[in-house]
Amino acid sequence: MRPNHCLAALVILCASATSASAIDVAPAGAAACSGCHPASRAVETPFTRLTGRPAAEIVTAMQEFRGGQRPATVMDRIAKGFSDDEIKAIATWYARQKD
Ligand code: HEC
């Protein structure tokens, strides 16, 4: 194996090791949601669960809360504090939390 091939193999190894051991870190803002919508099924909650829900469903609900099209007691105000990118990142992360 020529040296540049070794290097390429090493890069691939490192990249896969990183993704395999990566912790699914919650995106910025998700902690503001998980007090009411827990990230784990092990936590009791009177609120709707978001774990494992399709991301698109969460994004639509948040946009409707923000725009005032969906009735709410607190979510209309909370949704106003988040940009589209933040909502998408939080929704994608919740969709991945299956337990
Ligand atoms: C203070 C508690 C609280 C916090 C914090 C909170 N929620 Fe909610 N969430 C609620 C309540 C209560 C509802 C029901 C609608 C309402 O009354 O506002 C709800 C409803 C929802 C729904 C609609 C679920 C459905 O199926 O109808 C989504 C999606 C949602 N919240 C996402 C979020 C996200 C994302 C965050 C963080 C940015 C968040 N919530 C933070 C209490 C909370």
Q: What atom of ligand 1 comes closest to residue 65's alpha carbon?
A: 18
Cα dist from 50 to 1, 5, 14, 78, 95, whole Å = 50, 45, 33, 15, 7
Q: How far is the CA of 52 from the centre of ligand 1 (A)?
A: 15
pLDDT in tens, 35-59: 999 998 899 999 999 999 999 999 9
User: In the prediction, which pLDDT does 24 show?
Assistant: 84
pLDDT in tens, 57-67: 999 999 999 99
CA distance 81 to 73: 15
How high does pLDDT run on average in the chain? Answer: 85
Whether residue 15 has pLDDT greater than 60: no
- Structure token digits, residue 76: 């209309």
